[in-house]
Amino acid sequence: MAGALQAIRYERGKLEILDQLQLPTHSEYIPIQNTEDGWDAIKQMKVRGAPAIAIVGCLSMAVELYYMDFKSRKEIADYVSDRLKYLVTARPTAVNMNEAATKISSMIKDMAEDSDLSVSDFKELAIEAAEIMFEDDVTINKDIGRYGAEHIISNTEDVNVRILTHCNTGSLATAGYGTALGIVRALNERGKIDHVYCTETRPYNQGARLTAYELVHESISATLILDSMPSMLMAHHDVTAVVVGADRVVGNGDTANKIGTLQLAIVAKYFNVPFYVACPVTTFDPCKASGKEIEIEERPHHEMVSIKGQKIAAEGINCWNPAFDVTPAELITGGIVTEFGVFKPSEIKEKLASILSKNKE
Ligand code: MRU
């Protein structure tokens, strides 16, 4: 296997990210020195993908904190909470940054009141809370990969499988390995991949620029298709399963993911191809009952009508540029793959609640 691609480089006090706007032609790491840099990198999609957004957001807070002095634990807790709230405002649809902000802020607030740590030890604890997310992410992704690969293998008669995926969900969208692309990696490690198809993923071309880059990097047999081709593909080639990531999975299993996911799910249902969603449990938002409650980010029109400054659409045309769509639970026929196993969308809320409460005990 080729050396792993790394979207995020971190050591205490220093954070750099691979500028994904320059891929695949240039690999440049850019410094993120504070939460303003973190917010901008997320907003401008220099880093993207739900898990990577949360990790970079929290690590940008950790780097900022490292160089600051505080008078009390409370001052640190208030500062952390304020900065994390700010980072959540960069992009609204992926829930992971919000989930991390809520978890870290409430943990730090409780400990500011109850612990007798010195101010400098307490600052270290806040920094560690962000670092742990980064450290844990690859292990979580490998568990997702293993569960997903085993589920797909045991539910098909195909000796080797053909997977269709959308957007980018690999090393570049996470701390490493990936979610949906982690399942592809796990299948490949088991010698089970016949072929992978990845969609271009307009308008940001995450499929052509990032997923294709990762697949070529790993020497996995793969073909790029345009976003208009999945029905033609499923009509003429046997696809074993469609596997995508997620930006937010709500209580009833409805799932927000990159625009174009819904049409893939509809086509997969028509052709009887199992449709899987892969994500860590931090992408789960049980407080929202259905997909209707998910806020969908709308991106600027220039992202649709020009590529690297080159106009590709008629001047003066109206545009609509939602960055995500919502796939109803009933179309997620394969299941939702998490680090705790594969769940039917209808049972995910109940089953995860029970697993997570047992883990807390
Ligand atoms: O707009 P993006 O590039 O941040 O959207 C990314 C996606 O929709 C991914 O499929 C999703 O975040 C899962 S990343 C492991």
Determine if ligand 1 sits within 6 Å of the CB of residue 291. Answer: no
Kindly report the number of other CB atoms within 10 A of residue 68's CB atom: 11
Distance 48 CA to ligand 1 centre (A): 6
Determine if ligand 1 sits within 6 Å of the CB of residue 245. Answer: yes
Reported as type and span, the H/E element at residue 241 is strand 241-244
Distance 31 CA to ligand 1 centre (A): 22
Select from 6, 250, 251 the least CA-distant residue to 137. Answer: 6
Q: What is the pLDDT of residues 23-60, one digit of tens each?
A: 999 999 999 999 999 999 999 999 999 999 999 999 99
Determine if ligand 1 sits within 6 Å of the CB of residue 49. Answer: yes
Give pLDDT < 70 ranges for the chain: 1-3
Distance 246 CA to ligand 1 centre (A): 7
Residue from 247, 254, 285, 325 carrying the catalytic annotation: 247
Beta bridge partners of 338: 341
Determine if ligand 1 sits within 6 Å of the CB of residue 172. Answer: no
Which of 44, 257, 259, 295 is the best mutation target for the ligand 1 pocket, counting ligand atoms within 8 Å of the beta carbon and taking the most? 257
- HSE of 58, CA atoms in CB hemisphere, 13 A: 26
Atom 15 of ligand 1, nearest CA residue = 169
- Cα 75 to Cα 56, 78, 86, 330: the distances in Å are 23, 5, 17, 47
Determine if ligand 1 sits within 6 Å of the CB of residue 140. Answer: no
Instruction: Report the amino acid identity of residue 264.
Output: L
Q: What distance in Å separates the CA atoms of residue 179 and residue 134, rounded to the nearest whole number?
A: 15
Show the tokens assigned to 282. Answer: 């931090």
Beta pairing class for 14-18 and 8-11: antiparallel
Q: What is the pLDDT of residues 201-212, one digit of tens each?
A: 999 999 999 999
Would you call 247 a catalytic residue per the annotation?
A: yes
Provide the pLDDT for residue 1.
47
Which of 42, 45, 167, 304 is the best mutation target for the ligand 1 pocket, counting ligand atoms within 8 Å of the beta carbon and taking the most? 167
Determine if ligand 1 sits within 6 Å of the CB of residue 173. Answer: yes
